[in-house]
Structure 1
Amino acid sequence: MNILFVCTGNTCRSPMAAAIWKQVEGVEIKSAGVYASRGADMSYHAQRALEEKGIDTQHASQPVTRELLEWAHLVLTMTNSHKQALVQAFPDTRSKVYTYAEYATPENPFDIADPYGGSLQDYQFTLYQLQELQQKILVRLANATD
């Protein structure tokens, strides 16, 4: 399965999500941003939060493209506004675009807040949220293939 994670600038939330998902067998992972430039590093605090957990932080930002959306079987955005931007720009992708929390907990969707410019603790909390929701997404994916 190919999963694309999407946030705004592709330097905080989506690369953090991609980093934790790269440890999962059987999935291919990429990340992008709706307003991303090409080639930016992951933000410093995002790197630190991941390094504290022993997770690889290699990353270069990229904008969302049609090719990435076609590559993905599932597209998980960090906010509803990211989801709406993708669906508006690429209406044919609607069936595979969800917010990260919506896919994890359809009964309680919420946005993953942007830690950009915040403290290390803000990034640690974002990472915690992504990891907690990841467990629920893994269960949903496992049930879908049974």
Structure 2
Amino acid sequence: MIFLGGEVQALDGYVLVNNERVPDVETGRKILAAVDEALRKTGLRSVMFDTRDLPPPPDAVNRVLRAWVDAGANHDRVALLVRSDLKRIASNMRAQSKGVELRSFHDVEEAEVWLTEPSERVRTGSFEVIDPELRPPGSS
């Protein structure tokens, strides 16, 4: 799906989002709605945002993206492609502290491997549970 300033496309194993420029809040919400639509139509559960050629978005746009990622309604994993080591480290630390399946990468291939590898966690709405079949023996 092509939208003003970018594109959302379903690839093999994930939905890819490419923006030509940093969106404002309204456009950001439209992009995320298009991502949700693509996820529902394809049955995919992973998303990659390529932000390598963009400056950092305003805080208001970051809040919209973070709320969407944290809710996890239609996705299990989100990968961000970034150039900055600081951005990669900061977003990975935030995701770990929030318990969400988001990771930042410099390399497309590395992100694709992570997005498409089996996960032992299953998202249900905004809650995350460990798949009972993958729990260690004797645990509940």
Give 1 or 2: higher strand fraction: 2
Which has the bigger relative contact order, CA under 8 A and spacing at least 6? 1
Give 1 or 2: higher helix fraction: 1
Q: Which structure has the bigger radius of gyration? A: 2
TM-score of the superposed pair, with normalisation by structure 1: 0.31
